[in-house]
Structure 1
Amino acid sequence: MKAVIGDTVIAEAPVEDLIKIEGNWYFPPSSVNSDLLEKSPTPYTCPWKGECQYFSVKTDAGLLQDRAWSYPHPYPTAFDRVGKDFSDYVAFWKEVQVVE
């Protein structure tokens, strides 16, 4: 699976390495091109996953604010709900498409 914007691949990993949570594919941190992400100060805490870290995605056209996110330190109870540890896995939003 790939997370892409235009012709740029932001993340790529076999589907068995991804985790699907609430309809979003989460990519393992090692599969993400971190050079294309910039930490965002946008705050958010999910009631069951914990504190979220948003990222803006760097593109040729500029920065797309808060189009990626991860949970650096999810609540331990979230691991039971998801079935595995998803710490630092990255999911994407809007213009970033996840394709096979």
Structure 2
Amino acid sequence: MPKAIWNGAVLAESDRCEVVEGNQYFPPEAINQQYFKPSNTHTTCPWKGTASYYTVEVEGKVNPDAAWYYPEPKEAAKNIEGYVAFWRGVEVEA
């Protein structure tokens, strides 16, 4: 079962992930919310739309913008609406 880990904490775990461009996107209910803080960062993908970010914080350590999601994706990416993906040192075990 795919799992996202950072600083020893399981950030997300689910057997219902979607894989897009090599990234595991975790369903919103699979996220351990206590580690996530909304970020003001946004980026744009030509075919997925505008991404929003979360800063991850575990035991006082902060990983800015380490997770992203598409709250209102374009039609081609509707399957990952609200799903969360990771980077910046977050280990994702498939």
With normalisation by structure 2, the TM-score equals 0.91
Q: Which runs of 4+ in 1 moved over 3 A?
A: none
Once the two structures are superposed, residues 67-87 of structure 1 have per-residue CA deviations (whole angstroms, 9 ceiling, x without a partner) of 0000011001334xxxxx211
1:34 corresponding residue in structure 2 = 33
Amino-acid identity (%): 40
- Do 2:70 and 2:80's aligned partners in 1 also have CA atoms closer than 8 Å? yes
Larger radius of gyration: 1
Unpaired segments ≥5 residues, structure 2: none
For 1:87 and 1:78, the matched residues in 2 are separated by 7
Aligned to 2:37, the other structure's residue is in SS state strand
For 1:21 and 1:76, the matched residues in 2 are separated by 14
1:82 corresponding residue in structure 2 = none
With normalisation by structure 1, the TM-score equals 0.86
Q: Which has the higher strand share?
A: 2
Offset, 1:59: 1.7
Unpaired segments ≥5 residues, structure 1: 80-84
Query: Alignment RMSD, CA only?
Result: 1.2
2:51 corresponding residue in structure 1 = 52
2:86 corresponding residue in structure 1 = 92
For 2:87 and 2:31, the matched residues in 1 are separated by 15
Aligned to 1:44, the other structure's residue is in SS state strand
Once the two structures are superposed, residues 22-75 of structure 1 have per-residue CA deviations (whole angstroms, 9 ceiling, x without a partner) of 111000000001111111101211111011111110122422101000001100
Aligned to 1:74, the other structure's residue is in SS state coil
For 1:3 and 1:59, the matched residues in 2 are separated by 13
